[in-house]
Structure 1
Amino acid sequence: MCAQMLWPYREARRIISQLRGRKDAILETGFGPSGPPHIGTYGEIIRTNFVALALKDLGYRPRIISFLDDLDGLRKVPEGFPTWLSDYLGRPVCEIPDPFECCESFSKHMHKLLVKMVDDAGARCEYRFSSEEYASGTFNDAIEAVMHNVELLKRLVVPMLSPEVGARWFPFFAKCENCGKLYTTRVTSVDIDSETVDYVCDGEFGAVRGCGHHGTTSYLNGAGKLPWRVDWPARWFALHVDYEIHGKDLIESASLGKRIVSSVFMRPPILTMTYELFLDADGRKISKSKGFAIDPTLWLKYGTRDSLHLMLYKKPKQAKRLDISRMPSYVNEAFGVAADYYRRRDEFGQPGKRHPYEILTLLAPPDSDPGRMDFATLCNLVAALGERNPDVIKRYALKLAEQVNSDDSGYDVRSADSGLVDELVRKAIMFADDIIATRSAEVELSDNELEAVRSFVSYLRSGEFTGEEIQTRVFTLAREFSISQPRMFQILYALILNQRQGPRLGYFIPILGQNKTADRIEASLAKFGLRD
């Protein structure tokens, strides 16, 4: 497996082809601090780190800029935040008090959350703030170019807008000197010689209305800002950006931005990579303001960082449904990737020849194999046991390792350090309590199906059987009672695990114990009112 086969290296080589002999490269990511950073924000930074590390590995000097648009106006009060924030709707988030009273502003609090996420991952980036960059003059040259090309920009941008918005669109928002809002102002005239604009604050911004103030202000040094579709390419120009990763929902804006860079700022367009969107469990795009955005800390409460990075690394151009209930399978898969690396590590570890596990660990894999476990089965085991004593669970985990190794599946908790075992046991307990316990898989059984289940319970109590014998018995019962095999397994998973699918029963039941399994089935039958 060579580096060229790994997508971060393919992206790195694309960038190198555009550097024209330069060794320095600037990669950008963006964050709108109008709400807490979610997994999409984290994902952009981590994926950009993947590419930056590939560049560094190939002998280049990448820098990552995370640009926080803290001049963005607050459009709505985020779900779960105090209602008094409604008094600040339309104001730049850098001027809104921190509702948690630990930082100097709303946006600085969101920045603090982002920094912790990034630092905990061992990732690297430098932070720039829209308010500071505009005020310091970083965007002045871009704004001057905009003011000299207003009509060209209107021809490029207005066709993408609704007729109502397009009729009043102008490529600059003055900050109202009376109410402090940005997006409610409308430029009425420009004076290039004095570098000023006349404006009126008579617009609407969501539920926010302008105050009606008329004024004149400079268009430089932070007295206003460019609208999003112009601000983004202006960043590329002002910060000398070479590359940015963005979501599929911004394809049109990125294409427009490249045209603006070429025709207004007179620079070659940057390179971009598009990733598919993250969706929540119901298929909705994750959203900070609507309250259905998954925080990476939630993933890490139950899973491992390697599993989170694997989810970000795998097929970035394929949409991913972030159902936290699927997280244990990512943990198992990440363990598998690690196992492959440690078996073959002598083949890798050199510039230009990297293993995917090295990418997941940001080119800093542990010196020795920390070991691994069948985490998905451990979570199901904890749920079925009803036991929460970590020492007891740990004994079952070792029993699980023995069973799994007998199947030669590659997992071996016995080779793991004690810290990893303790961590996985603790996380499995939390996952069983918080996630599995909330599932509902109530089943309705026909008389025939109920009789098959009772026969299985009697079988489990009749002697000691191997996993293979138990698995075969399920197939036999399905045939004897004329029940389809998928239906038979679905019934047993519902009664044992309160879910419609699960681990191989011939593998799982010997670990849980035949009598405990029988007890579990009988308790479920009683709960569903199906017991004699």
Structure 2
Amino acid sequence: MHWADVIAKKLIEEKKVDKYVVATGITPSGHIHIGNARETLTADAIYKSLKNMDVKAELIFIADTYDPLRKLYPFLPKEFEQYIGMPLSEIPCPEGCCESYAEHFLKPYLESLDNLGIEITTYRADKLYKEGLYDEKIKIALENREKIMEILNKFRSTPLPEDWYPINVVCENCGKLKTKVLKYYSEKEEVYYKCEICGVEGVVKPYKGRAKLPWRVDWPARWSIFNVTIEPMGKDHAAAGGSYDTGVLIAREVYNYEPPKKVVYEWIQLKVGNKAIPMSSSKGVVFAVKDWTYIAHPEILRYLIMRSKPTKHIDFDLKKIPDLVDEYDRLEEFYFNNKDKDDLNEDDLEKIRIYELSTPKIPETKPFVVPYRFCSIIAQLTYNEEKNDVDMERVFEILKRNNYNVENIDEFSLKKLKDRLLMARNWALKYGEKLIIIDENEAKEIYEKLKDKQKEWIKYFAEKLKTAEFDALSLHELIYQTAKDIGLNPRDAFQASYMILLGKKYGPKLGSFLATLGRDFVLRRYSLFD
């Protein structure tokens, strides 16, 4: 059984409610990366599993747009130092394209969620506070100040000061959340404060966005507002004494609410060279979700998350995207070959379920598929710079020479193929290897440095090419046969070919590559050396 189904099943057994609310969220303080997306996609998988079990469920996303800007991040201009301490929703857009700082980073992420096939109800914390949705929760927190302090101090090495209050007031003068509460009058429901930045003193009543609960109180308050039943969370929040542990006690003892079931997930680490570094917006170690469809279809990102249990960390290597896509393609083939069978074992059933949870829109029939790495080669060779697009006529010619049946490609497969061609080209140019075929003069110079037996093979192979069938399989066989004919190790034949084509000892699958390059070019290149 897939991990999402296991979690959903246990939740239904443990909690008997009219509706299961799955919550997720993010603080849009910087570029929202695929490490952040793991939480959202984990929540979505659980939500889909609950729906599959015929219970009423809802998936909600709460953007913490009212959190303050904590520091000057590396991607921000120096002048944004003046906004440190202000709520993200009240800070100008760093590029002047959105209504606020928060929206600049949140909007592309929410658009990405739509592409990922996630049906979600989105809330923005700044609007929730300004609409007064938190006012009653703030009042309860203030009236239970000592109880909240007692709970938090259980997990602190240094106790909170005696004059601490569970509220952060937005200064009416400078707009920052760096204020100190001086006094709370419960009968008037008034909070007196002094700004630690500009020194202004003021009073807040009613709250309606003029005050915000600190995170460790905000989270349990939010659970009780939205009746949250289950929520994925990073291991930092779930650590002993972390915000979930304090949230559980505050939810029960202050808000009289049974806390949601936690689902802890591990980080996605970005491979940089030989190192795997946890993604961090503040440190600039990111691959933004909005950039994913520049290199691959959304279902590939879903698959990256769905194939591993949340508690398993993921090393994400941009150079290995073709391998990840190949895995998905094999899973898709397995799905269509086995989905209607009744005798599948547990492992096979889990594969079927991983595909279902990875693929928001499952096609009726198995799509026509060309491997991603091969698409990166084809697209580079057929890209028309003037039209900023691939030449599909040339693409089909190449596919035919590579033994693909392209006669009856359906519209869905055609669009997916074209998208993959462009995505794979983008990947190759930025993260893979740009395909550069050396010119004839360089090829001649390299030829002179080859071993005598390799030179002999090139001339022999060139002669045989004149009458050969020019498709990938025939060319592949011809390479081996001609090498055998003259007593050359096939490995040396491959290396010699790559050297006179690419100027290096390795390259794409040679038979397919030669078929892709076309008869005229290949004959001319191998015949240069008479």
CA distance in 2, matches of 1:14, 1:394: 50
Q: Residue 421 of structure 1 aligns to which amino acid in structure 2? A: L
Shift of 1:39: 2.2
**Superposition deviation, residue 240 in structure 1:** 1.0
1:236 to 195, 200, 223: 223
Worse overlay, 61-70 or 377-386: 377-386
One-letter amino acid matched to 1:395: E
1:287 pairs with one of 262, 273, 280: 280
What is aligned with 2:200? 213
Corresponding position of 2:370? 373
- Per the TM alignment, residue 372 of structure 1 is displaced from its structure 2 partner at its CA by 1.3
2:103 is matched by which residue type in structure 1?
K
Q: For residue 98 of structure 1, what is the aligned residue in structure 2? A: 93
Does structure 2 retain, via aligned residues, the 8 Å contact 1:143–1:219?
no
Structure 1 position 244, deviation (Å) = 0.9
Aligned-pair CA distance for 1:91: 0.9
Within 5 A, what are the aligned runs for 1:198-347? 198-202=192-196, 210-218=197-205, 220-252=207-239, 253-282=243-272, 283-315=276-308, 316-347=310-341
1-structure distance, mates of 2:142, 2:461 = 80
Matches of 1:172 and 1:385 in 2, distance apart? 61
Distance in 1 (CA, whole Å) between partners of 2:181 and 2:483 is: 74
Q: 1:439 to 1:393 in 2, by over 3 A?
A: closer
Q: Deviations over 1:190-246 (max 9, x none)?
A: 3333223333322xxxxxxx2223333347433211111221122112221111112
Residue in 2 that maps onto 1:408: none
Residue 57 (structure 1) shift: 1.7
Is the alpha carbon distance of 1:301 and 1:480 closer, same or farther for their aligned partners in structure 2, counting shifts above 3 Å? closer
Residues 279 and 286 in structure 2, CA contact (< 8 A), matched pair in contact too: yes
Match of 1:65 in 2: 60
SS at match of 2:257: coil
- Could you tell me how far 1:392 is from its partner in structure 2? 3.1
- TM alignment of 1:103-182, pairs within 5 A: 103-158=98-153, 163=158, 170-182=165-177
How far residue 271 of structure 1 moved from its aligned partner, in angstroms, is: 0.7
8 Å contact 1:27–1:64 — kept in the other structure? yes
Q: Any stretches of 5+ residues in structure 1 without a counterpart?
A: 203-209, 406-411, 441-448, 524-532
2: distance between equivalents of 1:475 and 1:46?
A: 53
Gaps of 5+ in 2: 343-348, 437-448, 466-473
The answer to whether the Cα contact below 8 Å between 1:303 and 1:328 also exists between their aligned partners in 2 is no
Task: Tell me which residue corresponds to 2:356.
Answer: 358
| Contact preservation (8 Å) 1:242, 1:271 | yes
Label 1:277 to 1:306 Cα distance change in 2 as closer, same or farther (>3 A).
same
Q: In the aligned structure 1, how far is the partner of 2:238 from the partner of 2:525?
A: 52
1:280 partner SS: strand
| RMSD of aligned alpha carbons | 4.4
What are the superposed Cα offsets for residues 455-505 of structure 1, whole Å, 9 maximum, x if unpaired? 88677657457536757999999x989xxx9x9999998997799987666
Q: Where do 1:469-508 residues align within 5 Å?
A: 470=479
User: How has the CA–CA distance of structure 1 residues 187 and 393 changed in structure 2, closer, same or farther, with 3 Å as cutoff?
Assistant: same
8 Å contact from structure 1 (residues 372, 413) kept in 2: no
CA contact (8 A) 2:382 2:394 kept: no
Q: Name the CA distance, whole Å, in 2 between partners of 1:99 and 1:76.
A: 14
How far apart, in 2, do the equivalents of 1:450 and 1:164 lie?
75
CA distance in 2, matches of 1:185, 1:51: 40
Q: Which amino acid aligns with 2:288?
A: D
- Separation in structure 1 between the aligned mates of residue 485 and residue 252 of structure 2, nearest angstrom: 70
Task: Provide the residue aligned with 1:527 in structure 2.
Answer: none
**What SS does the corresponding residue of 1:284 show, helix, strand or coil?**
strand
Larger Rg: 2
Equivalent residue letter for 2:316: L
Q: For the residues of structure 2 that align with 1:216 and 1:123, how far apart are their CA atoms?
A: 42
* Inter-partner Cα distance in structure 1 for 2:251 and 2:464: 76
What TM-score, normalized by structure 1, do the two folds share? 0.76
> 1:217/1:386 Cα in 2 relative to 1: closer, same or farther (>3 Å)?
closer
Q: 1:437 to 1:135 in 2, by over 3 A?
A: same
SS at match of 1:355: helix
Q: Distance in 2 between matches of 1:413 and 1:262?
A: 64
Distance in structure 2 (CA, Å) of the matches to 1:488 and 1:187 = 79
Amino acid of the structure 2 residue aligned with 1:396: I
Q: Which moved more, 1:212-221 or 1:497-506?
A: 497-506
- Cα distance in 2 for partners of 1:118, 1:290 equals 24
Q: Which amino acid aligns with 1:236?
A: W
Query: Given residue 166 of structure 2, which amino acid in structure 1 is its aligned partner?
Result: P
- Equivalent position amino acid for 2:366 in 1: D
Summarize the Cα distance change of 1:359–1:498 in structure 2 as closer, same or farther, 3 Å threshold: farther
CA contact 1:467–1:509 (8 Å) conserved in 2 = no
Deviates more, 1:96-105 or 1:421-430: 96-105
Amino acid at match of 2:4: P
Counterpart secondary structure, 2:339: helix
Do 1:299 and 1:324's aligned partners in 2 also have CA atoms closer than 8 Å?
A: no
AA partner of residue 309 (structure 1): R
Q: Which residue does the alignment assign to 1:528? A: none
- Counterpart secondary structure, 1:279: strand
Per-residue Cα deviation, 1:498-528 (whole angstroms, up to 9, x for no partner) = 999876667766666799799999x9xxxxx
Contact 1:236/1:270, CA 8 A, preserved across alignment: yes
Q: Does 1:40 align with 2:35?
A: yes
2:433 is aligned with 1:431: no
**Please, which of 9, 16, 36 is the counterpart of residue 12 of structure 2?**
16
Match in the other structure for 1:446: none
Query: How big is each residue's C-alpha offset from its partner over 1:83-114, in whole Å with a ceiling of 9 and x where there is no partner?
Result: 44333221111112234445432223434323
Moved more, 421-430 or 52-61: 421-430
1:71-82 to structure 2, matched below 5 A, reads 71-82=66-77
Q: CA deviation at 1:30?
A: 1.0
Q: Is the contact between residue 457 and residue 483 of structure 2 (CA under 8 Å) also seen in structure 1?
A: yes
CA distance in 1: counterparts of 2:505 and 2:256, whole angstroms: 59
Q: Distance in 2 between matches of 1:155 and 1:493?
A: 71
Secondary structure in 2 matching 1:346? coil
Q: Which residue of 2 aligns with 1:530?
A: none
After TM superposition, give the deviation of residue 387 of structure 1 in Å.
9.3
Q: Secondary structure at the match of 1:436?
A: coil
Residues 151/59 of structure 1: CA separation in 2 closer, same or farther (3 Å cut): same
In 1, Cα distance between the equivalents of 2:250 and 2:493?
A: 61
SS in 1 for 2:271: coil
Residues 295-343 of structure 1, C-alpha deviations (whole Å, 9 max, x = no match): 2232211211221211121203322233322222222222222222222
- The question of whether the paired residues in 1 share the 8 Å contact of 2:34 and 2:287 is answered with yes
Distance 1:83 1:418 in 2: 47
Change over 3 Å in CA distance of 1:265–1:165 after alignment to 2: closer
**Letter paired with 1:365:** I
